[in-house]
Amino acid sequence: WYSPIPYCLFNPVLHDLGAKSCACVDGILSVDPSGQVLPCSSFESGIGSLLEEDFDTIFANRQARYWKNKEFVPPACRSCPDIDVCAGACPLYWDAAGSFAELPVLGSDDPAARKGWEKSRLKSGSFGVEPVEAV
């Protein structure tokens, strides 16, 4: 299962729902009836067609690398200590939201604002999971 919203807004671990993260092309792939390989079953656009290319070629293409490398992660999330677990939430969530405005001051240039956010995060309890090591 994926994390539809960022952990800083709703933490599934603290609600006993387990750790969740975007698994686009990194644990999940779907194939639609026309042969399009979708990064996730929730996507409408594919990253290649199995009717035109073999799977290994599609899995190594630029679009697949974009998803595998988590290049979609919002800039404000990239320095978050929980990025390895949250992965910046579901990219479709950000498409629907239309902006990253609801993220807390994590991406703020104001060090005092960031420190305040970190304090409140620690006060409310850690996210409860250790960052996942890359394999």
Q: Is there a domain that residue 11 lies in?
A: no
Q: Is there a domain that residue 6 lies in?
A: no
pLDDT tens-place string over residues 99-110? 777 776 555 556
Q: Is there a domain that residue 2 lies in?
A: no
Q: Is there a domain that residue 39 lies in?
A: yes
Q: Which residue has the tokens 């290049």?
A: 71
CB atoms within 10 A of CB 28: 16
Q: Is there a domain that residue 78 lies in?
A: yes
pLDDT tens-place string over residues 1-57? 566 888 888 888 888 888 888 888 888 889 999 999 998 888 888 899 999 999 999
Task: Count how many domains the chain has.
Answer: 1
Q: 116 lies in which domain range?
A: 30-124
The predicted structure's pLDDT at residue 122: 46
Q: Is there a domain that residue 117 lies in?
A: yes
**49 DSSP β-pair partners:** 36
Q: What SS3 state is found at 20?
A: coil
Q: Is there a domain that residue 49 lies in?
A: yes
Q: What SS3 state is found at 19?
A: coil
Q: Say which residue, 45 or 128, is predicted with more confidence.
A: 45
What pTM value is reported for the model? 0.68
Q: Is there a domain that residue 51 lies in?
A: yes
pLDDT higher than threshold 80 for residue 134: no
Closest CA relative to residue 43, chosen from 54, 59, 32: 32
